[in-house]
Structure 1
C-alpha cells in the first residue's frame, strides 16, 4: 500500500512539473531567413538578463536557428546586411553594424538605421506573467521583419514590418546607398523628431510626417517613441519566431486572426485600436533594468494541483 501511494504521489508531482515547466524554462526564439541573401542577426540582452548563447551569427537564405531565453529575459534582435568577415571572423556590415569588428556583437547594439524586434519575457513566478514584444522603426529601417508567437495564450498577435521601406524612403532619409532608411531623429536630430528636451513626453511629442509615413506602411510597428497603443503586443507562455523578409505584404482585416497565407508567408494584420489593448495604452520596455512580466501562465491550475497533492498526502 505504501509503495502504491508513493508511486501515485510521484506521478502527480511529475504531472505538475510538466504543466509548469513551460513557464520555468522561458521562451524559445527561432530566427528564420527568408531573404534571397545572407543575414547576420545581432542580439543584445539587457544588463539584468542572462545572455543568450550568441550575440551575433550568420544565417543563410532558408536557414533557421533557435535559442532558449530564461524567464525575465529582455533584449532586442536585428538583422545586419552587407557584411564582410575574414577567416578570423573580423569585419563589418553595411547596415545594422554593431561596431564590434566581429561577427559577435559582444554587448553592442545596432548602429541606426536598423529594424528592431524588442522583447521582455515574463518572470517564472508572481503576477508578472505577460511577455511584451514589438517591432520598432524608431531607430530606422533596414530589413523587412515579422514576429510570430506560437504556443501561448492571450492576444498573441503577429507583428512586424513586411513592406520594403527602402523603396519608398525619402531622399533625405536614405542611408547606405539606399540599403536602409533613417528615422527623422537620426537624420535631423531635432528634439521634436527625437522626443527629447521639451518634447520628451507623450503630451508634447507627436507623430511627424516621416513617422506617419512609416506607420502607414507598417501599421503595427513602432514609428516614434510614444507610439505604444498600436505597436506593443502581449502573450503568455509563448515561443517566438523572428522572420527576416517574410515574403508577403498582404494585410488581413483586423477581425481576422493573424496567421499565414496559402503559400506559408507571414501575414501582418492591420493595427489594432487602442481600446483593443487589454493592458492599457502605454508600455515602454526598459533594456537597462530588465523590467519584465510573465509566466506561470496558469497560476490557478498550478495552485489547484498543488493543493490536490497536499490533500492526497493528508489522506494517506
Structure 2
C-alpha cells in the first residue's frame, strides 16, 4: 500500500496567503452605517460620482433612533446626505423641504438641492487611502458627524456637531412649517446660494484659491465647525485621509456621546449686519447719513446802510453868456463892375468895293489909286 504524503506548507507562504485574503476581504468590506439621532424622521440620499456605480440604495426613510448599513465597493466616490420634511406617495413621488433630489424617494442619480450638509468620500483601492470630508459649501440643514473605523493609521472624526440653524443670519435662513422643525429655520444657505455672486461661489475671476478667500458668511460656518468645508478652497483643514473599513454617519449627534471635532467649540456669535458687499458685490449695509448739523442762523444781514447821499445837485457851471460872434463885417459892395462900355463902334461898314467884273487890265489902270 502506497502512502501519499503531503509536504507541509511553509509558514511564510501561509502568512502571505492569509494576509492577501485578509486584505482582499478588507478592500471589499467598506460599509457606511447611517444613524438617525434626530428627534424626527430623515430620508438619507446617496449619489455616486462619475465612473462609479450607485450604492444598493439611493434613498430611504429612516425614523428617529434607527440606523442602516449600506455596503460599498473599493474606489467608490460620492455623497451621502439626509433630507428633511419629506412626503412621498406609494410610488415614491413627493418632495422634501431640504436636501430634495428630484422629488423622489430614490434619488437615482440626482444630487441634493442646496442647502444640505454633505458627507463626501472617495474610497481607495487596495492599500490606497480614502479621502473624505463633511462639506457645508452647499449650505447646512442638519448636524452631521463622520467617524471612520480605520484599519491602518490614525483616522480623524470630522463633521459639524452644532446646530447652525439656530444662529443662521437672516439673509441665509430657510424657514419651513413642516417636519420636525415646527415653522422654525430648517436650513441655512451658503452665501453662494443666497447671493449668486462670483466671490462667494469661487467662479469667474474668483475661480482659484488666490482670489477666492473666506467671506464673512463662510467664517460663520468655519467658526462653528472648524473641520468642515466652509467654502470651495477650504481644503487645508477640511480634507482627511484614512484607510477604513467602515464609516459611521451620525445625524444630530449627541455631543456628549461622540468625540467632538473641537472640545473648545462654542456656537458662533452671529453679527447681524453682513459685510459690505462689492457688486458685482451686494448693496452695502445701509448707514444712516451723518446727522444734519443743527441749523445755524445765517450771519445777520448787515443793516441796510443808506448809500452816501448824492451830493446836492450842482448846477453845471453856467454856460458862458452867449457872445455874439464878432459882427460879420458889413457887406461891402464889391467894387462896381465897371460900366459896360460899348466897344468902340466898329467903323461903319464900308461896303466893299463892288466886285468888278473882270475888266481888262486897261480899265484898272485908269482908276484912281
Q: How high is the TM-score relative to the length of structure 2?
A: 0.65
Paired residues of 2:148 and 2:244 also in contact (CA < 8 A): no
Q: Does 1:228 align with 2:227?
A: no
| TM-aligned CA deviation for residue 116 of structure 1 | 0.4
CA distance in 2, matches of 1:67, 1:267: 24
Question: Which residues in structure 2 correspond to 1:278-297 (within 5 Å)?
Answer: none
SS at match of 2:6: helix
| TM-aligned CA deviation for residue 205 of structure 1 | 0.4
Distance 1:12 1:216, change over 3 A: closer
SS at match of 1:5: coil
- Aligned equivalent of 1:314: none
Q: Which has the larger radius of gyration?
A: 2
- Aligned equivalent of 2:48: 45
SS at match of 1:3: coil
CA deviations on 1:49-100 (whole Å, 9 max, x unpaired) are 122100001111111111111111100011000001122222111100011x
* Aligned equivalent of 1:265, options 247, 258, 261: 258
| The 10-residue stretch of structure 1 (148-157 or 211-220) with the greater mean CA deviation from structure 2 | 148-157
Paired residues of 1:42 and 1:105 also in contact (CA < 8 A): yes
| TM-aligned CA deviation for residue 175 of structure 1 | 1.3
SS at match of 2:57: coil
Paired residues of 1:57 and 1:104 also in contact (CA < 8 A): yes
CA distance in 2, matches of 1:215, 1:237: 26
CA distance in 1, matches of 2:210, 2:11: 60
SS at match of 2:208: coil
Paired residues of 1:115 and 1:140 also in contact (CA < 8 A): yes
- Aligned equivalent of 1:209: 216
* Aligned equivalent of 1:103, options 102, 105, 120: 105
Structure number having the greater helix percentage: 1
Distance 1:223 1:270, change over 3 A: farther
- Aligned equivalent of 2:329: none
CA distance in 2, matches of 1:266, 1:31: 17
Question: Which residues in structure 2 correspond to 1:157-168 (within 5 Å)?
Answer: 157-168=156-167
Paired residues of 2:150 and 2:242 also in contact (CA < 8 A): no
Distance 1:150 1:197, change over 3 A: same
Paired residues of 2:119 and 2:135 also in contact (CA < 8 A): yes
Paired residues of 1:113 and 1:182 also in contact (CA < 8 A): yes
- Aligned equivalent of 1:59: 62
| TM-aligned CA deviation for residue 2 of structure 1 | 4.4
- Aligned equivalent of 1:130: 129
| TM-aligned CA deviation for residue 102 of structure 1 | 1.8
- Aligned equivalent of 2:252: 245
The root-mean-square deviation of aligned C-alpha atoms, in Å, is: 2.1
SS at match of 2:35: strand
- Aligned equivalent of 1:187: 194
* Aligned equivalent of 1:30, options 30, 33, 58: 33
Number of aligned residues: 253
SS at match of 1:236: strand
Paired residues of 1:120 and 1:133 also in contact (CA < 8 A): yes
> Quick one: higher RCO (CA 8 Å, sep 6+), 1 or 2?
1
